[in-house]
Amino acid sequence: MKSGSNLEKVLSSGHFAVTAELGPPKSCDPEVVEKKAEILKGFADAVNITDNQTAIVRTSSIATGVIVARKGLEPVVQMTCRDRNRIAIQSDLLGAAALGIKNLLCLTGDHQSCGNHPQARGVFDLDAIQLIDMVRRMRDEKKFQCGEEMSVEPRFFIGAAANPFADPFEFQVIRLAKKVTAGAEFIQTQLIYNVEKFARWMKMVREMGLHEKTYILAGVGPIKSAGAARYMKNKVAGMDVPGEIVERLQAASDPKAEGIKLCLDIIEQVRAIEGVAGIHIMAIEWESAVPEIAERAGLLPRPQID
């Protein structure tokens, strides 16, 4: 055990893992976080707490993670390289570990121009792979990035993201291998709507034996309407939403129900792919869909491991 987190235990004991996502509020209202945590508790092994996702200012991921943990739900704190240099990141990670955070997802981060402060100066002192490498060394070598020793090391279960729909397609798998070499013990993928492409990507992952070195959690999520699907298809960088998905939602009499049905279909398909160790449900601002999805996908109850 690297961290002893619930997520790590679930995965290492061979269970099919379920993680979800919880976006901190654009205010300092802890009740919003607590409410979302109440909804998700018991339906996911851990929940990702986004770090100023899409470069929009929100409560810090570490603070939100602590609130969530107090509610009895395990957080996966996300950390991006956009807003902090190596000094700030290490400092925040020590703080997070001291507050009991055990799972960390390392990201480069969306560019600041995508968010609500496009005038901000971006940092990008490190990239995601260098961040993973730094966190692993902090944990396993008890060393700061500069090489200095530390007495008590932060013990994180280290995760990273992968996007099977980004280009160059073949190289994104090599880049995943780099993340694994750097120390990524679990991977959460971008939202999958093009299952066929994801399956091709997983084939390459298996050919490189990466599924045996890291746990791959397939990213899934319900879409509320054809309009939302179209927006993701055309406006969100790094997404691949096939036309059929938009049409299917367009044709539905109850698009919300159809969105959930679609998500369940995708879960069923990705579960069948060799090397998929779990799913990561991203129901952004629609947390209430997660219990239903977990239930109907037959993923309940979640395992209790001590």
Dist CA 230 CA 40 (whole Å)? 27
Q: What is the DSSP string of 36-80?
A: HHHHHTTT-SEEEE-SSGGG---S-HHHHHHHHHHTT--EEEEEE
SS3 150: coil
2 or 86: whose CB is closer to other proteins?
86
Does the protein bind other proteins through residue 178 (CB under 8 A)? Answer: yes
- Closest separation between CB of residue 60 and other proteins, Å? 21
Query: What is the distance between the alpha carbons of residues 189 and 259, in angstroms, rounded to a whole number?
Result: 19
Q: Does residue 54 interact with other proteins by CB under 8 A?
A: no
- Return the residues of window 245-284 that contact other proteins according to CB under 8 A: none
Please state, in angstroms and rounded to a whole number, the distance separating the CA atoms of residues 22 and 210: 28
Residue with tokens 């959930």: 260
Q: Is 306 in the site for other proteins (CB under 8 A)?
A: no
Among 47, 162, 279, 299, binds other proteins (CB under 8 A): 162
Instruction: Compare residues 21 and 110 and give the one whose CB is closer to other proteins.
Output: 110
Q: Which stretch binds other proteins (CB under 8 A): 6-14, 164-172, 221-229, 279-287?
A: 164-172
Tell me: cis bond preceding 301? Omega within 30 of 0 counts. Answer: yes
163 binds other proteins (CB under 8 A): yes
Per-residue mark of binding to other proteins, 1-40 (x: CB under 8 A): ----------------------------------------
As to burial, measured by CB atoms within 10 angstroms (0-12 exposed, 13-18 middle, 19+ buried), residue 124 is middle
Chain residues in the site for other proteins (CB under 8 A) = 81-82, 86, 108-111, 113-114, 122, 124-130, 133-134, 145, 161-163, 165-168, 171-172, 174-175, 177-178, 181-182, 190, 237-238
